[in-house]
């Protein structure tokens, strides 16, 4: 167990809707990263939050947005859902930005119909 928890574990949404996914980071970790993993693919970096500020972003459109709270928990929001957004969404926490080891949660399986 990594101590990184994500909710919900599964979610079904309709195209065009909005979704919010949540992540509680491991105790003592101030950095949270979000990844998208399509079936049969490796995780793709969405963005990272460090001390409540975005600290880097991958090649994802602006309809993917996030927040980090004072307790270092985090949210991933996706607007105007598309069918291709169906994937496993992973949250990873690390001790500090630039710290090499990242520990992942169990993921949220999002299905867009």
Interface residues toward another protein, by CB under 8 A: 2, 4, 6, 33, 35, 40-45, 48, 50, 55-56, 58, 88, 90, 92, 97-98, 100-107, 109
Q: Which is nearer to another protein, 15 or 96 (CB)?
A: 96
If the CB atoms of residues 16 and 61 are measured against another protein, the closer one turns out to be 61
Q: Minimum distance from CB of 45 to another protein (Å)?
A: 4
- The smaller minimum CB distance to another protein, of residues 78 and 90, is found at 90
**DSSP letters along the chain, please?**
--S-EEE-SEEEE-TT--EEEEEEPPTT--EEEEEEE-TTS--EEEEEEETTEEEEE-S--TTEEEEE-TTS-EEEEE-S--GGG-EEEEEEEESSTT-S--EE---EEEEE-
If the CB atoms of residues 16 and 96 are measured against another protein, the closer one turns out to be: 96
- The residues near 16 (Cβ < 8 Å, ≥ 6 apart) are 80, 81
CB of 111 to another protein, least distance (A): 13
We find the least distance from the C-beta atom of residue 16 to another protein, in angstroms, to be: 26
């Amino acid at each position: 167990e990594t101590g990184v928890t994500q909710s919900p574990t599964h979610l079904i949404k309709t195209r065009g809707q909005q979704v919010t996914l949540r992540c509680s980071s491991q105790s003592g970790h101030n950095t949270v990263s979000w990844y998208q993993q399509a079936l049969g693919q490796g995780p793709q970096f969405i963005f990272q939050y460090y001390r409540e500020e975005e600290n880097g972003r991958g090649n994802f459109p602006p309809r993917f947005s996030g927040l980090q709270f004072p307790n270092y928990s985090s949210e991933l929001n996706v607007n105007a859902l598309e069918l291709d957004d169906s994937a496993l969404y992973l949250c990873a926490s690390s001790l500090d930005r630039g710290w090499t080891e990242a520990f992942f949660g169990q993921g949220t399986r999002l299905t867009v119909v």
